């Protein structure tokens, strides 16, 4: 008995080969252009110093999206062998576009433009904690709709549980490490940068086991945080308060880890 193509490729999840060339087509919108890095002119300095080896991105976007130039990430070289290899976690954060009226709300509105991260169904988010390792409640996103509010573009995000707080317009949500109470943010040790915009095109493999799951795995070598990597805060999205507290720059409006 011959198995159907659907059974062979979809149900069993096998890879395959096409003898010709494949064109993958999609469309997107360019949100704009702005240089977030402050260019230092001393020729002896290097704005970007890269880690010697990159790692697998363990929290890729669940759909087509961008990691922007200047986005922070957490690079773990796994020197103690706990992760099965080098890993990178993207610091994903979202700006609230409208006050949350009551802690019982399960719908929030996030800023939608060409510079803010895109929320996806399945993401776990939380109100940004005041410190990097502070704990809160992670809530799963169960619905995302592109909408408008008062003439501004927003993401209308439906949550799988009550917000449990009343954050105000301009407050920040971050990706949570897990769903439920007593969780930290996904990134607790930001130590590197994306040096340029990076597009996430493909449906990702979200499995924590390298031998399991289906979909794309992304590998990247970030630029490590150093004294010559400086962000212009006027050109960046509003950073979470715990991240801003790490700023070592003595020049107002500049940010340096």
What are the pLDDT digits (tens) for 88-109?
999 999 999 999 999 999 999 9
Domain count, the chain: 1
Task: Give this prediction's pTM.
Answer: 0.85
Alpha carbon 204 to its chain's center = 13
Residue 120 in domain: yes
Residue 201 in domain: no
Residue 85 and residue 79: Cα distance in Å, rounded? 9
Averaged pLDDT for residues 31-59: 75
Averaged pLDDT for residues 126-139: 96
Residue 30 and residue 52: Cα distance in Å, rounded? 32
pLDDT category, 246, cuts 50, 70, 90?
very high
Residue 129 in domain: yes
> What pLDDT score does 11 carry?
45
> What pLDDT score does 172 carry?
97
CA distances from 141 to 65, 89, 119, 158, 190 (A): 16, 19, 8, 6, 24
> What pLDDT score does 203 carry?
87
| Average per-residue pLDDT for the chain | 87
Residue 172 in domain: yes
* CA dihedral over 203, 178, 121, 36, signed as positive or negative: negative
Residue 229 in domain: no
178-230 tens-digit pLDDT:
999 999 999 999 999 999 899 998 888 888 776 777 888 999 999 999 888 89
Residue 173 in domain: yes
Please, are residues 125 and 178 in contact by the beta-carbon 8 Å criterion? no
Residue 245 in domain: no
Residue 65 in domain: no
Task: State the residue range of the domain holding 109.
Answer: 96-184
12-42 tens-digit pLDDT:
445 555 556 655 555 555 555 567 777 766 6
């Amino acid at each position: 008995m011959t198995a159907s193509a659907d059974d062979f490729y979809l149900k069993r999840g096998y890879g395959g080969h096409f003898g010709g060339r494949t064109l993958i087509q999609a469309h997107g919108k360019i949100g704009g252009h702005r240089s977030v890095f402050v260019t230092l002119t001393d020729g002896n300095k290097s704005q970007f110093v890269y880690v010697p080896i990159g790692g697998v991105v363990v929290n890729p976007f669940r759909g087509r999206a961008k990691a922007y130039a200047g986005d922070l990430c957490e690079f773990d070289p796994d020197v103690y062998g706990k992760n099965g290899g080098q890993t990178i976690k993207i610091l994903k954060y979202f700006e609230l576009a409208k006050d949350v009226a009551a802690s019982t709300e399960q719908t929030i509105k996030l800023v939608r433009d060409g510079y803010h991260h895109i929320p996806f169904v399945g993401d776990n988010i939380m109100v940004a904690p005041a410190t990097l390792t502070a704990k809160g409640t992670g809530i799963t996103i169960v619905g995302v709709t592109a909408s408008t509010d008062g003439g501004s573009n927003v993401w209308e995000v439906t949550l799988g549980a009550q917000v449990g707080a009343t954050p105000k317009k301009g407050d920040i949500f971050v990706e949570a490490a897990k769903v439920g109470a007593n969780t930290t943010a996904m990134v607790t040790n930001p130590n590197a940068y994306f040096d340029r915009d990076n597009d996430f095109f493909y449906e990702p493999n979200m499995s924590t086991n390298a031998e399991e799951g289906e979909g794309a795995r992304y590998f990247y070598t970030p630029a490590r945080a150093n004294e010559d990597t400086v962000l212009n805060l006027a050109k960046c999205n509003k950073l979470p308060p715990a991240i801003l507290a790490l700023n070592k720059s003595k020049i107002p409006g500049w940010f340096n880890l």
